[in-house]
């Protein structure tokens, strides 16, 4: 047989449950310590400020280092450019001195070759060896001519070329008057003879010519 509880009994059981049950733990929530919280926040704020100042100081130091590095690079670039210019100038001066030495050798060989070409043996002296002497001198002249041609080729490889002054008006920028002549067939100031050849190196004057100029 089923027994149904009456409302009074249910209310009584509920009242008894409420009286016997401890609900304190359900409402016992820990309240935060505001003083400690604000202290932690203040400490964190101070630490952030300190880190910010240190970071700014690091950035400033890096910026100064970058500026110093830029200045050093500019100074180094200037020194390298100046060193390259000095090296190029010294190389040009050394090359010029070397070319002038070659030209001086060329002058001496040319004079020797002219002397050998103009040589004429005397008929009265050494008649027994005349033919042999003539052949010997001719062979020496031929050897010097070959040497002169090779030297000219060496100079031309370095863009060195002799001037052609004879028959042209005197030019004070490229010529120097060593002697004067008087040829009424030519105008005044015309170069009569080259006493020492002048030379160009590319478009630069390497050595001025020494000439004999017509003076009426």
Burial of residue 145 (number of CB atoms within 10 Å: 0-12, 13-18, 19+):
middle
CA 37 to chain centre: 67
Q: What pLDDT, on the 0 to 100 scale, is given for residue 136?
A: 80
The pLDDT tens digits of the residues spanning 165-212 come to 999 999 999 999 999 999 999 999 999 999 999 999 999 999 999 999
Per this entry, what is the length of the chain? Answer: 216
CATH of 160-216, one of 3.30.470.30, 3.40.920.10, 2.30.22.10, 1.10.760.10: 2.30.22.10
Q: Average the pLDDT over 140-154 and give the result.
A: 89
- Predicted confidence at residue 175, as pLDDT, reads 95
Tens digit of pLDDT for each residue in 111-131? 888 888 877 766 555 555 667
Give CA–CA dist 167/185, Å, rounded.
11
Q: Where do the structural domains in the chain lie, given as residue ranges? A: 160-216
Measured CA to CA in angstroms, residue 9 lies from 14, 19, 20 at distances of: 9, 15, 17
User: How many angstroms separate the most distant Cα atoms in the chain?
Assistant: 183
Give residues with Cβ within 8 angstroms of 177, minimum separation 6. Answer: 170, 211, 212, 213
Q: Yes or no: say if 196 and 174 are a contact pair by the CB < 8 Å rule.
A: no
Confidence of residue 52 (pLDDT cuts 50, 70, 90): confident
Percent of the chain with pLDDT over 90: 44
């Amino acid at each position: 047989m089923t027994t149904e509880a009456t409302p009074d009994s249910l209310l009584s059981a509920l009242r008894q449950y409420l009286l016997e049950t401890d609900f304190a733990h359900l409402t016992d929530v820990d309240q935060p310590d505001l003083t400690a919280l604000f202290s932690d926040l203040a400490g964190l704020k101070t630490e952030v400020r300190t880190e910010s100042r240190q970071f700014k100081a690091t950035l400033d130091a890096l910026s100064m280092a970058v500026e110093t590095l830029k200045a050093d690079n500019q100074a180094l670039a200037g020194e390298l450019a100046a060193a390259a210019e000095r090296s190029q100038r010294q190389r040009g001066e050394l090359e010029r001195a070397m070319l002038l030495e070659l030209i001086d050798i060329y002058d001496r060989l040319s004079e020797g070759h002219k002397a050998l070409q103009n040589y004429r043996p005397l008929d009265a002296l050494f008649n027994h060896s005349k033919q042999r002497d003539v052949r010997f001198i001719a062979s020496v002249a031929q050897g010097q001519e070959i040497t002169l041609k090779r030297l000219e080729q060496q100079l031309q490889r370095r863009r060195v070329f002799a001037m052609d002054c004879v028959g042209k008006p005197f030019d004070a920028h490229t010529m120097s008057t060593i002697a004067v002549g008087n040829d009424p067939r030519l105008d005044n100031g015309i170069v009569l003879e080259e006493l020492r050849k002048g030379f160009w190196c590319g478009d630069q004057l390497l050595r001025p010519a020494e000439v004999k100029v017509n003076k009426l």
